Amino acid sequence: MATIDVNGTTLYYERRGDGPPLLFISGATGDAGHWTDVADALAGEYTVISYDRRANSRSPRPENYARASITEQADDAAALLEGLELTPAVAYGNSAGAMILTDLVVRRPDLLRGAVLHEPPFAGMTSHGDEVVAGLQQLIADGMAQGGPARATELFLRWVCGDEVYESFEPALRDRMLGNGEVLFGIELEPIMSYVPTRDQLAGVRIPCVVASGAENRDPASPRHWFWEASQWAADGLGVPLTEAPGAHVPQSTHPQELAALLRPVLARLAASSPVTA
């Protein structure tokens, strides 16, 4: 078990392979285990880093830690890369992890060669954002009433990923995810849902970025189509085309080999880009 003390906290991380550095940033429940299969597939070409985000799973909760912010989470990712001496890196963020990566791209482009943003949940930028947020709030309230943070986390994961995907999670990973519910709902969710970069911030990004969304979410009839809309908004702001990824919101869990195959030429291009200065 590898840990590192950075940015006022202790982060558990996993390191695989050798080659240009590649960082994966998890969304809700913040566990490195989301990336195991994709990381293994890419470890022959990259030094792959995944980590448990602050206060999640095997990264201990700092004393008196009561409120998160996207900026603090991005600073954690930055400090991890610097502490491991793996800059400039290519980074991939999924869901809330894509929001964290967006903030890192905006404020610390010197640490990155490029970024892949998969379905950042900018609900407020979608056609039915108010409905999405209201539905999520009701789902969490129902879960809390039924069984506290663990049950609320289960319902949240089933809502985001689907029942079949939830049931497929490896038991130890699922247990850690459910154990992160107090942090997710008590500390992280509000700043996640309120974070939106400005158009000027996106237009001013100086490193190459790719924005991706799951093929299954492209259909307007899909219950998770709002992820596609949010991704399109981010892509438009960055001035890049939207890339279609396999599966839906968590291809690292449902289509890891297909995701790795899609990423190989993308990562090679990003890894070859010239770094920028701060």
Buried b (16+ CB within 10 A) or exposed e, 164-191: ebbeebeeebbebbbbbbebbbebbbeb
C-beta separation of 39 from 14 below 8 A: yes
Q: CA–CA distance from 213 to each of 72, 73, 195, 231, 250 (Å)? A: 25, 22, 19, 6, 10
For 71-114, how does the pLDDT look when each residue is reduced to its tens digit (9 = 90+)?
999 999 999 999 999 999 999 999 999 999 999 999 999 999 99
pLDDT of 208-257, one tens digit each?
A: 999 999 999 999 999 999 999 999 999 999 999 999 999 999 999 999 99
Provide the percentage of residues in the chain whose pLDDT is more than 90.
98
pLDDT grade, residue 1 (50/70/90)? confident
Cα radius of gyration (the chain): 17
Instruction: Check if the beta carbon of residue 79 is closer than 8 Å to that of residue 111.
Output: no
Q: What is the pLDDT of residue 278?
A: 61
Supply the pLDDT for residue 276.
87
Q: What average pLDDT does the segment 11-19 reach?
A: 98
CA–CA separation, 19 vs 11, rounded Å?
A: 22
Average pLDDT over residues 13-17: 98
Is the pLDDT at 277 greater than 90, yes or no? no
What pLDDT is attached to residue 249?
A: 97
pLDDT digit string (tens) for 149-181? 999 999 999 999 999 999 999 999 999 999 999
Look up the CATH superfamily of 2-125+195-271: Alpha/Beta hydrolase fold, catalytic domain (3.40.50.1820)
Average pLDDT, the chain: 97
CA dist 54 and 9 (Å) reads 7
- CA distances to 17, 92, 123, 200 from 106, in Å: 28, 15, 20, 10
| pLDDT tens profile 35-55 | 999 999 999 999 999 999 999
For the chain, the domains span 2-125+195-271
pLDDT at site 69 = 95
In angstroms, the CA 205 to CA 105 distance is 7
